[in-house]
């Protein structure tokens, strides 16, 4: 198994085990001054960011799907995402 799979496996296990948002919400609920309001705003902010991410990535993936269906060349969005991913993988390889 390549080493980057091991790196991704450790990150996925850490994100599954460490529920930071839940712990932070509990700490906000226990605060003496308007804890429920603060926790509500925190959860609302998380929800808004996740919805925004879903909308943005939905448009990106839909655009990539329809541009790939029209012809064999990848679209601008797909090419940009592949370039960014390649740069990140190159940086990771240089660090190791």
* Domain boundaries of the chain, sorted by first residue: 3-95
d(CA 89, CA 85): 6
Start-to-end C-alpha separation, the chain: 16
Q: Look at 18-22, 59-63, 72-76, 77-81 and tell me which has the smallest mean pLDDT.
A: 72-76
- Average pLDDT on 10-20 reads 73
pLDDT digits (tens, 9 = 90+) for 27-75: 888 888 888 888 888 889 989 998 998 888 887 777 666 665 556 666 6
d(CA 42, CA 53): 17
Position 48 scores a pLDDT of: 94
């Amino acid at each position: 198994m390549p080493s980057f799979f091991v790196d991704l496996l450790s990150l996925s296990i850490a994100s599954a085990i460490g529920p930071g948002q839940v712990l932070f919400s509990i700490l906000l609920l226990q605060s003496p001054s308007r804890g429920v309001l603060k926790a509500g705003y925190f959860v609302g902010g998380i929800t808004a960011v996740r919805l925004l991410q879903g909308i943005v990535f939905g448009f990106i993936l839909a655009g990539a799907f329809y541009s790939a269906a029209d012809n064999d060349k990848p679209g601008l969005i797909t090419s940009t995402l592949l370039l960014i991913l390649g740069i990140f993988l190159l940086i990771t390889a240089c660090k190791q």
